[in-house]
Amino acid sequence: MNKPAHHELSPEIKTPITLTIAGSDSGGGAGIQADIKAISATGGYACSVITALTAQNTQSVTGIFPVSPAFVEQQLDAVFSDLDIQSVKIGMLSDATIIRAVAKKLRQYRPKFIVLDPVMVATSGDLLLEAEAISTLKSELLPLATLITPNLPEAVALTHVSSLSGTVSTVVYTKETEEKEALIEQLKQLNTEAVLLKGGHWEQEAQSTDYLILESDTVTLTASRVQTQNTHGTGCTLSAAIASYLAQGYTLTEAVTRGKAYLTQALLHADQLRIGQGHGPVHHFYSLQPR
């Protein structure tokens, strides 16, 4: 009887692991759920630490149940003590105590890359974090971050935190070039390694242009604006994809470029999904869609 052939073992290649620290979206379109989908779809392995539970769907958020800072720390100890985490994506952090707990553990475990999506402003313009929590975010987490990924209202909140009073509607930036340049200069003053200013809120423009703000340069990344109602979780998806690509060894500029390309395709295919009655999710697994 012929013996089965023995296959030579290939050199061990570590699986690129990305940790997402964020809130849970019961509707599956944003938060932890979107992050896990994006990390998986872009070739990484996702693990998670949940900071809050939300009751939400495609139409609204009807409840938020924060997780205690002590249990957030316990989750972080569990994953870092066992898994070789290369990159971390941070999303929803509900208050200053959670922010401090996360920062404490990140300083302890020192992951190679940290992508912070500062979830601070609702679509209505209302602040989701109090001014104290935004200040704590700036002092505790921004210095640890490889990249932060604010949209326009979040960028305004980060640069005008001392003058905010519950809303960012009193501070308005338009598409005028000089106002963009002024905001970019203000973002350069933040104590963080790099900033990706997302251009989704400049809706008057035919192109969706993001600005990767580095210490010595600003890289412009442009794609055609996709018209779809299925935009829930776009910020979560982009930041998670960037973190996933960083874990796989891409440079920051390459990871951001690939992340934006992935999100653009997820938006272009979003209308293939029929999810809920409101703003549905992007299509994270568009590449698996049957032709």
Indicate if 249 belongs to the active site: no
Considering 236, 257, 259, 260, which one is annotated as catalytic?
236
Indicate if 259 belongs to the active site: no
* Residue 37 burial by Cβ neighbours in a 10 Å radius (0-12, 13-18, 19+): buried
Indicate if 234 belongs to the active site: yes
Q: How far apart are CA 28 and CA 66, in angstroms?
A: 18
Compute the residue count for the chain.
Answer: 291
Do the Cβ atoms of 221 and 210 come closer than 8 Å?
Answer: yes
Considering 234, 237, 259, 280, which one is annotated as catalytic?
234
Cβ-Cβ contacts under 8 Å for 161 (sequence gap 6 or more) = 131, 134, 135, 138
Indicate if 166 belongs to the active site: no
Q: Could you tell me whether strands 85-90 and 218-224 are parallel, antiparallel, or unpaired per DSSP bridges?
A: unpaired
Instruction: Find the radius of gyration of the CA atoms of the chain.
Output: 19
Considering 235, 237, 260, 280, which one is annotated as catalytic?
235
Indicate if 280 belongs to the active site: no
Considering 89, 105, 138, 198, which one is annotated as catalytic?
198
Considering 231, 257, 259, 280, which one is annotated as catalytic?
231
Indicate if 235 belongs to the active site: yes
**Rounded to an integer, what is the distance from CA 230 to the centroid of its chain?**
17
Residue 198 has phi, psi (to 5 degrees) of -85, 140
Which of 85, 30, 80 minimizes the C-alpha distance to 54? 30
Considering 23, 28, 29, 233, which one is annotated as catalytic?
233
Residues assigned a catalytic role: 198, 231, 233-236
